[in-house]
Amino acid sequence: MVLRACPDSSLDGDDAHHAIVEGDNLDVLALLAEERPGSLDLVYLDPPYNRRHERAYPDDFAAARGSGGGPADPRGSHARWLAFLRPRVELARVLLAERGVLAASIDDVEVARLRILLDEVFGEENFVAQIVVSLNPKGRQLAPFFATSHEYLLIVARDARRTALVPATREAVDPADFPREDAQGRLRFLPLRNTNKKFHPGTSPTLHYPLHAHPEDGRVRAEPFEGSVEVWPRFGDATPAVWRWSARRVAAEPDAVVARRVKGADGERLDVFQVDRLTAARTKKLRTVWTADEIGSTDDAVQQLKELVGPVFPTPKPVGLLRRLLACLPPDAHVLDPFAGSGTTGQAVVEANAEDGGTRRVVLVQTPEPSAPGSEAARRGLETIADVTRARLAAAIGRARRSTKREVPGLLAFAAGAAADEARAPCDDRARLLALLADDP
């Protein structure tokens, strides 16, 4: 396979950080796996869901109909879908760095088989999460039974012990969880006592000790001081408990704890609380259900694409889905989307960099699947899905340049072809693509 640069479709190609490759993703994955193994931090897969219909791209892996005209055996459809996806997943694993992760969108038709495939290729010990993604809050009313409102995001790590994935973000923090406020900002009080009854003086004897607190001003210390009284950890029913912190930590962080009066089974008493403050750097672990309110809906996704290049692709993913994934990874992540579609992943990378100054790089791969005749994409001169991908990423870069003072690098466009085409393309430009994924580009 050779790669030919397409200057007319590139944008400031001499200073590009992103690339779009028009060609078969299996060929491109094989090339990258051979030349740049271990170079990626995120591979995002949005493969055909095997829904047995065709929309913007083929999505029917059904076997041929029987001689009697009856429906094909669905087991053949699943087998062909797995045969199509397996080599792509295996090459994606080769491409991932030790800290990297693969995330795949899928729905009910193939989620069980994809989970098994990922376990086989990556190992069950590297499974991270199966996230429910609610993209259609109203539900699909045309569904035969329940009104389906969700699909899934499966995440696996190249090595779960070394992954850079941190599934906690600032956006997940709810200020309402910090109901109090003082001169330093919003805060809440968390019991310093371990509230889990599995932890008690019998299981954690070193954490069962008295602290010393002033009944009036709430000061807490590890050692007695003038006016202080002993405070022992107790459960609400007055049985002995243990603290979450050691005496050494209390001594090192006296301003992070406070004594307050509480009512228990034996009447009013003093208890000790951790002062937990809401700061700009505060993060919270993400849940395994992502709602449309958090990441956007299918309607939002269509509108986001329309704002950039028009209603030229029927099933885009919302940008918020990819932005949330990127927020869990380092700001210098190298990203690959081999089923690029409308280019949502590219827009998410450009927007994330413009917002936080990150140096993320993205490679999008899309087959030159023809746009549907008479479709809005065809009317706008976007003859293939790859044309839609390029147009969206170029528009996202242009908008970022207009709205931010940060430097916004451009993109390189490539066409992938068979080696037999080399006579028409004497120069193989693969080195320009590989440079984007070098350790020190």
Residue 420: pLDDT over 50 = no
| Residue where the block lists tokens 């065709």 | 54
Task: Say which residues have a Cβ less than 8 Å from residue 315's Cβ, sequence separation at least 6.
Answer: 55, 56, 298, 341
340 phi/psi in degrees, rounded to 5: -65, -30
In this structure, the answer to whether residues 156 and 220 fall within a common structural domain is no
pLDDT in the model for residue 277: 95
- Give 125's contacts (C-beta < 8 A, 6+ positions apart): 160
Domain span at residue 179 reads 175-277
The strand pair at 410-417 and 2-5 is best described as antiparallel
Q: What is the mean pLDDT of residues 382-400?
A: 95
Please choose, from the candidates 315, 404, 432, the residue with its C-alpha nearest in 3D space to the C-alpha of residue 56.
Answer: 315
Stronger pLDDT, 404 or 40, i.e. the higher one: 40
Same domain, 317 and 263: no
Q: d(Cα 244, Cα 32) in Å, to the nearest integer?
A: 49
5 bridge partner residues: 414
Task: State mean pLDDT over 213-221.
Answer: 96
Query: Do residues 29 and 161 share a domain?
Result: yes
Residue 205 and residue 128 share a domain: no
Question: 58 pLDDT band (50/70/90 cuts)?
Answer: low
What pLDDT score was predicted for residue 59? 56
Mean pLDDT lowest among 140-144, 259-263, 349-353, 406-410: 140-144
The mean predicted confidence, pLDDT, of the chain is 91
Greater model confidence, 141 or 187: 187
Q: What is the DSSP letter of 71?
A: P
User: How far apart, in whole angstroms, are the C-alpha atoms of residue 12 and residue 315?
Assistant: 29
Residue 331 dihedral angles phi and psi, to the nearest 5°: -75, 0
List Cα–Cα distances, 354 to 164, 317, 326, 374, in angstroms: 21, 20, 13, 36
- Of 52-61, 104-113, 330-339, the least confident: 52-61
Residue 105: pLDDT band (50, 70, 90) is: very high
Compute the distance between CA of residue 2 and CA of residue 61 in angstroms, rounded to an integer.
Answer: 29
Which one is predicted more confidently, 424 or 136?
Answer: 136
Instruction: Say yes or no: 164 and 304 in one domain.
Output: yes
Question: Where does a domain end: 249, 277, 305?
Answer: 277
| Shared-domain flag, residues 122 and 168 | yes
Q: Please report the DSSP string for 371-382 in residue order.
A: PPTTSHHHHTT-
Q: Residue 330: CB partners within 8 Å, gap ≥ 6?
A: 41, 99, 164
Distance separating alpha carbons of residues 373 and 368, to the nearest angstrom: 14
245 and 101 in a common domain: no
Residue 183 backbone dihedrals phi, psi, to 5 degrees: -60, -25
Domain annotation covers residue 441: no
Higher pLDDT residue, 103 or 421? 103
Query: What pLDDT score was predicted for residue 14?
Result: 75
Does 319 share its domain with 185?
A: no
Return the bridge partners of 153, or none.
105, 131
Task: Please say which residue of 221, 248, 277 terminates a domain.
Answer: 277
Query: What gap in Å lies between CA 294 and CA 288, rounded to an integer?
Result: 12
Return the minimum-mean-pLDDT range out of 13-17, 152-156, 333-337, 408-412.
13-17
Structure-derived torsion over alpha carbons of residues 280, 286, 292, 296, reported in degrees to the nearest 10: 50
Residue type, 29: L
Query: Does residue 77 sit within a domain?
Result: yes
Is the pLDDT at 63 greater than 60? The verdict is no
pLDDT band at 421 (very low <50, low <70, confident <90, very high): low
Give the pLDDT mean for 226-247: 95
Residues 120 and 62 grouped into a single domain: yes
> pLDDT band at residue 74, thresholds of 50, 70 and 90?
low
Looking at residue 390, its pLDDT comes to 96
CA dist 286 and 223 (Å) reads 39
- Is 50 exceeded by the pLDDT of residue 67? no
CA 308 – CA 310 distance, rounded (Å): 6
| Domain presence at residue 159 | yes
The arrangement of strands across the sheet holding 220-221 comes to 220-221, 211-213, 229-231
In the chain, % of residues over pLDDT 70: 92
Same domain? For 399 and 305 the reply is yes
List of long-range contacts for 206-214, beta carbons under 8 Å, 24+ apart? 206/246, 207/233, 207/242, 207/243, 207/244, 207/245, 207/246, 208/232, 208/233, 208/240, 208/241, 208/242, 208/243, 209/243, 209/247, 211/243, 211/247, 211/250, 211/257, 211/272, 213/259, 213/270, 213/272, 214/259
Per-residue pLDDT tens over the stretch 83-92: 999 999 999 9
Rounded mean pLDDT, 152-177: 95
CATH number at 391 reads 3.40.50.150
pLDDT, tens digit (0-9, with 9 covering 90-100), for 262-321:
987 778 899 999 999 999 989 999 999 999 999 999 999 999 999 999 999 988 999 999
141 and 206 inside one domain? no
Residue 181: both structure tokens together: 């406020």
151-157 and 267-277 strand pairing: unpaired
Parallel/antiparallel/unpaired status of strands 289-290 and 127-133: parallel
Q: What is the pLDDT of residue 72?
A: 57
Residue 28 belongs to a domain = yes
User: 20: burial class by Cβ within 10 Å (0-12, 13-18, 19+)?
Assistant: buried
